[in-house]
Amino acid sequence: MSYYRHHIFFCLNQRAGDEACCARHDAQAAFDHCKSRVKAAGLAGPGGVRVNKAGCLDRCAGGPVAVVYPEAVWYTFVDTSDIDEIVDAHLGRGEVVERLRLPADVGR
C-alpha cells in the first residue's frame, strides 16, 4: 500500500506573453479550492489524498489541467463545481469523472 491513496497535481505554470498556460485560467484558485474540499471531506493525509502544486505539465492547450495518480487520469476543469465533482467522485469514491477527462491527444 502506498503512503497516499491518491495524489492530485495542479499545473500552476505561468508563461510569458500570450502563450497558453494554466495560470491564465485561475488554476491557483482551483488548487486552493481542491485542497480545502479534500480537507473538509476528511480525505487528506496518509492513506488518503495529497493535493500538490506542479509546474508545467506540458498539456497547456487543454488548460487548466490536473492529473490524479496512481491512475494517471488527466482532467480539465472550468469552475469549482468541476473540482467538487473530481473530489467527490474520483478522490472520494474512486470513480473517474469521464466528462472532465482531458483527451489523450491534447498537448502543449
Looking at domain 6-100, its CATH superfamily turns out to be: Glutaredoxin (3.40.30.10)
| pLDDT tens-digit series, residues 37-94 | 999 999 999 999 999 999 999 998 898 999 999 999 999 999 999 999 999 999 999 9
Q: Is the pLDDT of residue 107 over 90?
A: no
Yes or no: say if 20 and 65 are a contact pair by the CB < 8 Å rule: no
Domain ranges of the chain: 6-100
> Residue 2 has what pLDDT?
82
Q: Which residues of 75-105 are buried (b: 16+ CB within 10 A; e: fewer)?
A: bbbeeeebbebbbeebbbeeeebeebebeee
54/17 Cα distance (integer angstroms): 20
pTM, two decimal places: 0.94
C-alpha distance from residue 83 to each of 27, 51, 55, 108 (Å) = 11, 12, 19, 22
71/59 Cα distance (integer angstroms): 17
| pLDDT tens-digit series, residues 3-37 | 999 999 999 999 888 888 999 999 999 999 999 99
- Total residues belonging to the chain: 108
Locate 81 and state its grid cell. Answer: 463545481
Sorting pLDDT into bands at 50, 70 and 90, what band is 108?
confident
> Residue 30 has what pLDDT?
97
6-11 and 49-54 as β-strands: parallel, antiparallel, unpaired?
parallel
